[in-house]
């Protein structure tokens, strides 16, 4: 028995070490390749220049257009996913019967299993033509349809995590609200949601992190035109889309243009790393703790 426990302990330790080593390896690759880029392009130019044209004759290396495109599609996605996901979480926890819950939750999980390339083609061939009937000025590639479909994709993440957060609120709070004459709607939004706010905020931050790192939907439906804009009706380019564009093999390996994908990659890594740590900090500091 002790020998088997030691083997299991060793395997768990090995898994943890492998995870740490892989993370260190990723950071090392990004940093080592990015150093060569920043030796040629000053960091100040990279952060402040308003154009991104490393593949053109007139090369500009400002990351802001890619960051703007990433934040634009992410903003649209959260605007779609947050109200729908939170509403679903409240419905499942406060209104749905057990049978309905058993049906709805697996259906939501189906959305998370659909390949993102399918979502991308759905955005390009279904959502964009539909939106063009409502907004004639909408371009064929645009941030709006890509953001909407990304929002649909991350609904299960927000609804599942938010539902777990609401479920963890003590039943005594709900009963106290009913005892004071509150309706089910008042109890849901006036008591349960505020009490579970830390978990809900964490779910939103994790969903933002997922949307920031999304690749195929924006690569297919949003276009490949880096521009510093907040207009969701025009083509844009995100950080992940640019990495895909350069990684296709048309750019010579080792060139400055090739090294731009590592500079963009480390920017993306900083974004997701900051968001994940922010969610961990919020959960640790503000999550309600009950006996």
- Is residue 97 scored above 90 in pLDDT? no
- Is residue 52 scored above 60 in pLDDT? yes
Overall average pLDDT of the 215-237 stretch: 91
Do the domain assignments include residue 59? Answer: no
Q: Decide which of 46 and 111 is more confident.
A: 46
Give 283's contacts (C-beta < 8 A, 6+ positions apart).
198, 199, 202
Tokens of 103: 């049906």
Do the domain assignments include residue 23? Answer: yes
Residues 25 and 136 in one domain: no
Do the domain assignments include residue 58? Answer: no
- The per-type count for the chain, helices as H runs and strands as E runs, is 14, 0
Residues 36 and 126 in one domain: no
- Is residue 161 scored above 70 in pLDDT? yes
Residues 10 and 118 in one domain: no
- CATH code assigned at 215: 1.10.3720.10
Do the domain assignments include residue 236? Answer: yes
Residues 159 and 217 in one domain: yes
- Is residue 206 scored above 90 in pLDDT? no
pLDDT digits (tens, 9 = 90+) for 71-89: 999 999 999 999 999 999 9
- Is residue 289 scored above 60 in pLDDT? no
Residues 145 and 217 in one domain: yes
Q: In the chain, what percentage of residues exceed pLDDT 90?
A: 38
Residues 264 and 129 in one domain: yes
Q: Lowest-confidence range among 52-56, 129-133, 230-234?
A: 52-56
Do the domain assignments include residue 56? Answer: no
Do the domain assignments include residue 232? Answer: yes
Question: How does residue 284 score in pLDDT terms, banded at 50, 70 and 90?
Answer: confident
Overall average pLDDT of the 64-75 stretch: 94
In the chain, how many domains are there?
Answer: 2
Domain, as residue range, for 95:
64-290
- Is residue 90 scored above 70 in pLDDT? yes
Q: What is the DSSP letter of 95?
A: I
Residues 138 and 31 in one domain: no
Residues 28 and 124 in one domain: no
Q: pLDDT value at position 287?
A: 55
Residues 29 and 75 in one domain: no
Residues 170 and 284 in one domain: yes
Question: How does residue 119 score in pLDDT terms, banded at 50, 70 and 90?
Answer: very high
Residues 116 and 15 in one domain: no
Do the domain assignments include residue 35? Answer: yes
Contact by Cβ (8 Å): 124, 220: yes
Residues 208 and 267 in one domain: yes
Give 170's contacts (C-beta < 8 A, 6+ positions apart).
290
Q: What is the DSSP string of 9-44?
A: HHHHHHHHHHHHHHHHHHHHHHHHHHHHHHHHS-HH
Q: pLDDT value at position 219?
A: 92
pTM of the predicted structure, to 2 decimals: 0.86
Do the domain assignments include residue 46? Answer: no
- Is residue 1 scored above 70 in pLDDT? no
Tokens of 212: 């920031």
């Amino acid at each position: 028995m002790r020998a088997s426990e030691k083997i299991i302990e060793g395997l768990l330790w090995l898994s943890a070490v492998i995870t740490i080593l892989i993370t260190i390896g990723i950071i090392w690759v990004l940093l080592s390749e990015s150093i060569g880029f920043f030796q040629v392009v000053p960091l100040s130019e990279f952060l402040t220049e308003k154009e991104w044209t490393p593949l053109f004759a007139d090369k500009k290396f400002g990351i802001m257009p890619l960051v703007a495109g990433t934040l634009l599609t992410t903003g649209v996605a959260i605007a779609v996913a947050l109200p729908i996901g939170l509403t679903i979480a409240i419905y499942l926890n406060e209104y749905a019967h057990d049978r309905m819950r058993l049906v709805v939750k697996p259906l939501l999980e189906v959305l998370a299993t659909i390949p993102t390339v399918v979502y991308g083609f759905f955005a390009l061939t279904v959502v964009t033509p539909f939106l063009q009937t409502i907004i004639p000025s909408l371009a064929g590639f645009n941030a709006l349809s890509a953001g909407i479909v990304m929002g649909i994709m991350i609904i299960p993440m927000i609804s599942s995590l938010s539902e777990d957060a609401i479920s963890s609120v003590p039943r005594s709070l709900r009963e106290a609200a009913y005892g004071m004459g509150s309706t089910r709607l008042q109890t849901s939004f006036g008591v349960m949601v505020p009490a579970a706010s830390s978990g809900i905020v964490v779910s939103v931050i994790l969903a933002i992190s997922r949307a920031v790192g999304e690749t195929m939907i924006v690569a297919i439906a949003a276009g490949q035109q880096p521009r510093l804009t907040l207009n969701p009706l025009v083509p844009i380019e995100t950080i992940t889309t640019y990495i895909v564009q350069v990684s296709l093999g048309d750019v010579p390996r080792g060139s400055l243009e090739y090294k731009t994908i590592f500079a963009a990659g480390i920017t993306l890594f900083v974004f997701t790393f900051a968001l994940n740590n922010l969610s961990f900090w919020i959960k640790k500091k503000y999550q309600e703790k009950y006996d």
